[in-house]
A and B are shown apart, each in its own frame.
Chain A
C-alpha cells in the first residue's frame, strides 16, 4: 500500500512537473482568425515546434469576426490576428492603434509581389500585415459538363459565349450566379469581370479618379452580364440562389460554370462532398486579366506584451518552409515564393497570378470605400439588380457612379 501511495505521489509530481515545464517552455500567442481551413497547418507547426519557443494558438470565429476582434481588442487580446486584405478593412484598426506596422519588426518583405503588398497596405501607405497566401478568382467550370457536350476550354470571349449557347440548348445552366450573397457579388463576381473586361489601365485609373464607372471599359463588362442574362445563360432565379446553391448546382452538373475563388476547387471544398468525382477547371475571363489577390495577412497587436514571440512568428511566416507548408496544408499558392508544387490547381493559379494578374483591385482601394455608400456596397446592390433583370448595364454603372459622387470620392469632380 505504501509503495502504491509512493508511486502515485511520484507520478502526480512528474505529471505536474512536465505539464508545468510544457507551459513555461513556449510563449503562447493567441491568434484570431475566421479561417478554419488554416487550423491543421498551425497544429502541424506547433506539434513539430517549427517556431522555437512559440506556440500559436488559433481562435477561429467564422461568423462576425470583426465584432469579436473589436470587443476583445478593448481588453488587449489577441496577440496576433488574421487581417483581411485591403486598406478599407485595415482602416478601423489603424485608427484605434491596435495594428502594428510591420516595419516595427525585423521582417523582410522584399520577396513579396506588388499585388500582395498592396493588399496589406493601409491608406497611409504603411504595410500592416504579412501577406500569407494568394487567392485566384476566376471562372470555375465542371469539366464533365463541358466534355459531355464536346466543349473544350474556351480561349476567346466568342468561344465562351458559343459554349454558353450550346450548354443552354442542352438544358444546362451555362453560368450560375449566387446573387443572394452580396459579398460574392462585389468581391468575387464584379472584380473578376473587371479584371476580365476592363483591363489594367482602367482599374488603375478608376482608383485615382482618372477613370469613371460610366466609361466603356466598365460598362462593357456589365453589358456582357446583361447579354448573358438576356440570352438565358444565367440561372433563372439569381436572387434566390445563395453561394451554396451556386456551388451545389455546378457540383451536380446542372450548371456548368460559376465565378468563384480557387478555394472551391481545393480538397476541403464541400463541392467534393456533393460529387466526389467532380473535376473543376479554372480559367480567367478569356482574353482578359486574371484576378489574384492576397487572401489575408498576419497582423500583430502593438499592445501585446509578447512582441519578441510575435516577431519570431512573422519571421517564420515569410520563409520558404512556411510557404511550402501553406501550399500543402491549405492548398493555395504562396505570396512570396514561386514554389514547385505537384498540385495542378495551385500551379495554374500561381502561373496566372505571376503572368497575367490585373494591375489593381478597386475592391481593396481606400479611395473608393472610404465613406458610405462605398464602392463595395454599391456594387453589391446595383450589380445584383442588373443580374436580376431590374436594370441595364448603363443604369447600373450610372448608379454606382452617382452613389460615389454623393460623398465626393476622389473622382467626383471628374466623373458626372
Chain B
C-alpha cells in the first residue's frame, strides 16, 4: 500500500467516528425536524401533514409573524447587551487579572464563581435581588437615588436588558477565562521589545495584545450567538413562556417553547410542527452571521 493511500485511509478512519456521531445526533434529527415542520401535531395523537403551511402561518399570518419579528428583534438586542458586556467588561477584567497585581487569584475565583451555578438558582436569586421589594431597590430608595422602587422586570423598558445582564453576570467567568487564556498566549518577547522601544502599557495592549485576542472574541461571539438564539432559560425561568411584561422579553427560544408546549396563559392550541418551523427559521437567521464569523476566524488562522 502506498503512503498516499495509507494516509487517505487513516484520515478516513479517523473521521468515521465523528461523522457517524454527527450523523446520528445532528443530521438525522435535522431531517426529522424538516419533516416535523411540515405537520400539525399537538405532541400526541395523529400528525396531520400540512406541507409548508406552518412556515406560511409563521411568516404571513400577522399574529404569528409579529411575534416572530418581535422575538427576533429582541433576541438581537439581548445578544448585543450580552456580547457588549462580555467584550468590554470581560476583556477589562481579564486584562486586570493578567497583571501581576495583589489578590489576583482571589479575584479570578470570584469572577468565575457564578459560572458553575445552575441557571435556575441564578435566575431565582437575581429575581429576588431586583424585585421591587428586593435589596437593590431598598438600597436605591434608601440612599435617595430613586423615590419609588424601579420595576426592573415589570417594565417593558427595562425587563429585557435586566435579563440580558443576568445572563452576562452568570457567564462572565466564561468570557474572562477565554480572553485571559488568549492574553497569556501573547509572546512576552514581543511585549518586552515594545516596552524597550518606548511603548507604554496602553500602546502595548492596543498593538500587541488586542490582535492576538481577536480569535478569542470571534469564538465568544459565535458561541454566545448560537446560545442566546437557541436557549431562553432566564426568560422561561423568570418571566415564563408568556415572556412578559407584554411580550417585551420574548426571544426566539420562548416563542418556540410557547408554540410547542403552550404558554402559561393558554396551553391548548399547541403545535410542535410550527415550533419546528420556528426552530429552522432561527437557524436560517443566525447561520449566515455564524458562518461568516467562523470563516473569518479560519482565514485569519
Contact = CB atoms under 8 A, between A and B. Distances in A.
A408 to B, nearest CB: 12
A182 B43 contact: no
Contacts of B261: 64, 66-67
A91 interface: yes
Interface of A: 64, 66-67, 70-71, 73-74, 88-89, 91-93, 95-98, 179-183, 185-186, 236-241, 245, 369-374, 376-377, 379-381, 384-385, 388, 390, 403, 406
Contacts, number: 116
Interface stretch (B93-101, B168-176, B262-270): B262-270
Contact of A406 (B45, B63, B132, B239): B63
A67 B155 contact: no
Interface string B52-78: 000000000111100000000000000
B50 to A, nearest CB: 14
Interface residues of B, number: 36
Top 4 A-B pairs ranked by shortest CB distance?
A240-B154, A96-B45, A182-B265, A240-B151
A64 B45 CA distance: 18
Contacts of A93: 44
B200 to A, nearest CB: 48
Interface in B279-301: none
Contact of B269 (A74, A239, A372, A406): A372
Given A89-B268, A239-B155, 16 more contacts: A74-B44, A97-B45, A181-B240, A182-B244, A182-B266, A236-B148, A237-B154, A238-B154, A240-B155, A241-B132, A369-B266, A373-B63, A374-B266, A380-B263, A388-B245, A403-B63
A182 B242 contact: yes
A67 to B, nearest CB: 6
A183 B263 CA distance: 9
Given A64-B261, A237-B151, A374 B268 contact: yes
B154 A92 contact: no
B266 A239 contact: no
Nearest to A385: B246
A66 B153 contact: no
A371 B152 CA distance: 34
B242 A380 contact: yes
Given A182-B242, A183-B264, A388-B245, A70 B151 contact: no
Contact of B267 (A66, A179, A241): A66
6 contacts: A96-B46, A98-B45, A369-B269, A380-B263, A384-B244, A406-B62
